[in-house]
Structure 1
Amino acid sequence: MKRFLIFLIILTIPAFFYIFHIKKPVNSTILIKKGDNLFKIADNLKNKDIISSKILFLIYSKIRNKPLKAGYYEFKGDYSISDVWYVLYKGKEKLVKITINAGNNLFDIAKKLENKGIIKKDTFLKYAFDKDFLKSIGIDKPSFEGYIYPDTYYISKISDVEEIFNMFFNRFKKEYKEFNINDEKFYKYMIVASLIEKESSKEDEKRIIAGIIYKRLKMKMPIQIDASNIYGLKLKGYEYINITKQIYKIDSPFNTYKHYGLPPTPICNFSKKSFYDAINPAKTDYLYYFSKDGKTHIFSKTYKEHLRKLKNF
């Protein structure tokens, strides 16, 4: 009898471990938050139908005795309890893809981040304009505007605020590592780069517009850039903005019709090409320009010439 029991146990042990490796089809995602304990993780996995048995998952986890990682996970295909455990143990989470385009401002980016479930829009904007927080990550400026390099990013849904901002800022520093990014001259180029990014999508026009901006600054003329005025309205809480005479009346340092000089901060992020165009403006006789179709611009040397060309359109 004793031998029979031993024989039975020997047969049972492989069968017991086999059940941890039985696969089932799964098509689900799950968010495991920082601080979730093993029981909560098992509950969530069972509720999402990722595992067949909460008890078996708990037993297997206790046998393996290794910590599981928080994250946003996607399961598509056939998975066993051991497979699921391994994914969580290795932290093979599904990162969220977000594309930041040149010309996006903080308000655009905040909306994208919220839509992807990464961070609430208001929370992102709160920290993006918090001078104390910005100083803590190495930026002594009024806002984070301009410090997000346009590219595609892959972000964890469990990233905290500081991790998100450091990710963006570290990428920006890497792209401009040959510059002293804390220098005031560098910040001036950032502002000009953001202005020309908004003014034109035509690469051959940006250097010309940069040259006009610098020429107007030198002549103590207002630079008169609508996009800056619109940004000032956004800072005051306007969501939808039409190009009307109202934008010229705004009481804001971003009103480039009322105030001389550059706006106090960039008004959007910008491509590296725009930044180098801000450093190397084209030398022309132009002082005025307008767009006939919202895409290309007509340039003039004098105000009289500018009015005549305007009249023809």
Structure 2
Amino acid sequence: MKRLITRYILLFIIGSVAFAALFAYLGHRRFHEAGPTTVDLTYVLVKGESLRQISDTLEQRGMIYSNRIFTAGVRLYKFDRRLKAGEYNIPAKASMNDIMEILASGQVIQHKITFVEGWSSFEFIDALEQHQALTGDKPQIPEGSLLPETYFFPRGTTRQQLISQMQEQQQSLLQKLWDNRRTDLPFSTMQEAIILASIVEKETALPSERRHIAGVFINRLRKGMRLQSDPTVVYGIRQGRALERPISYNDLRTAHPYNTYMHHGLPKGPICHPGRLAIEAVFNPMPTEDLYFVADGTGGHRFAKTLQEHNRNVRHWRNIEAEMRKKTISEGSSPESSPPNRSAAD
């Protein structure tokens, strides 16, 4: 009788071991086989989540076949303490093993945001607030303190962290240029260089003109001439927001610390966040005798050494404006008049 009982116990143990081995084999195969998803999906692993919570969420979203097999596999491979918080891309058909390795890699999705050269703090703040991958309160940004470029960051980055990164980028560029600057430039601080660069940035959208524009302003500063830059007047009126109408003669006579038609030297502060090329331009302006420039009707400018030559260029611009008004009237729109572009004009 004892032998019979012993035999049954032995058979039970062998059967249990065999069943466990079969279950482990099937589970192992399931853990490594292609997953149920047919498209790439995004998964956010929240900091502090337990392995069970992660497994349940993955199963609920249809990204794995079994939360139990995923949990067992992660523990078997000792990955349960290696999973890292962040936002991950999970490719279609990813196996549970693939997902485990992805969540342990730390290679989170990098989001992108592009800041345009010449944007004001108002425009920077608007872009930062609209980006859903950023967190944190509405930031305060000193005008002219950021370097406009394309930046990459993981989800959950705070707006202040990104602002700090942009400020560090600008300071790094400024310090390099400052250490190698020419000794004859008519500004004595990095802040003054940024103020001038911000004016250069707003005066032209053509990279090829920036050094030339900078050269004109450098000449005028050396001679004690007023800069007479329209964008400084607009900034003083709108503080970085669009004027949404042509600049007027009354605007040019409006007293404020940014009006370079009324005040000599640089304005109170930057009028935008200048880009790399505009900053480099004020440290390395084009050698020129030009003191004036005016729009040429093609997006660029005509430059002049003398007021007489400049006035001819202004008349040319006026003729272009007249033709534009005629065209506008013929198309049935209401024409708007504006003073000539008097940037860098007496």
| TM-score (structure 2 length as normaliser) | 0.70
In the alignment, structure 1 residue 306 sits paired with structure 2 residue 306: no
Give the CA deviation at 1:278: 0.8
Q: What are the Cα deviations for residues 220-246 of structure 1, in whole angstroms up to 9, with x where unaligned?
A: 43312222333344537x456333326
Q: 1:120 to 1:204 in 2, by over 3 A?
A: same
Which structure: larger Rg? 2
In the alignment, structure 1 residue 84 sits paired with structure 2 residue 99: yes
- Residue 10 of structure 1 is matched in structure 2 by 21
- Partner of residue 64 from structure 2, selected from 35, 51, 57: 51
1:1-313 → structure 2 map (5 Å cutoff): 1=11, 2-24=13-35, 25=37, 26-38=39-51, 40-42=53-55, 44-63=57-76, 64-119=79-134, 123=138, 126-128=139-141, 143=142, 145-150=144-149, 152-179=150-177, 185-235=189-239, 238=241, 241-245=244-248, 247-248=251-252, 252-293=256-297, 295-312=299-316, 313=319
Equivalent pairs counted in the alignment come to: 294
Taking the aligned partners of 1:304 and 1:275, their CA distance within structure 2 comes to 31
Q: 1:51 to 1:11 in 2, by over 3 A?
A: closer
Q: What are the Cα deviations for residues 267-288 of structure 1, in whole angstroms up to 9, with x where unaligned?
A: 3344444333212334444322
The question of whether the paired residues in 2 share the 8 Å contact of 1:230 and 1:241 is answered with: no
Which consecutive unaligned segments of at least 5 residues does structure 2 have?
1-10, 180-186, 320-346
| TM-score (structure 1 length as normaliser) | 0.77
Q: What are the Cα deviations for residues 21-67 of structure 1, in whole angstroms up to 9, with x where unaligned?
A: 23223422233444555455445444543334444444444553214
Give the CA deviation at 1:297: 0.9
Determine what percentage of the aligned residue pairs are the same residue.
25
Q: Which amino acid aligns with 1:28?
A: L
SS at match of 2:40: strand
- The two structures, once aligned, show a CA RMSD in angstroms of 3.3
Q: 1:83 to 1:240 in 2, by over 3 A?
A: farther
Larger deviation, residues 39-48 vs 280-289? 39-48
- Residue 134 of structure 1 is matched in structure 2 by none
Q: Which amino acid aligns with 2:265?
A: G
Q: Which amino acid aligns with 2:157?
A: S
Give the CA deviation at 1:157: 1.7
Taking the aligned partners of 1:40 and 1:239, their CA distance within structure 2 comes to 49
Q: 1:121 to 1:285 in 2, by over 3 A?
A: farther
Taking the aligned partners of 1:86 and 1:98, their CA distance within structure 2 comes to 28
- Residue 330 of structure 2 is matched in structure 1 by none
- Residue 137 of structure 1 is matched in structure 2 by none
Taking the aligned partners of 1:257 and 1:41, their CA distance within structure 2 comes to 63
The question of whether the paired residues in 2 share the 8 Å contact of 1:46 and 1:54 is answered with: yes
Taking the aligned partners of 2:80 and 2:98, their CA distance within structure 1 comes to 15
Q: Which amino acid aligns with 1:27?
A: D
Larger deviation, residues 240-249 vs 260-269? 240-249
Which consecutive unaligned segments of at least 5 residues does structure 1 have?
129-142
SS at match of 1:77: coil
Q: Which amino acid aligns with 1:154?
A: F
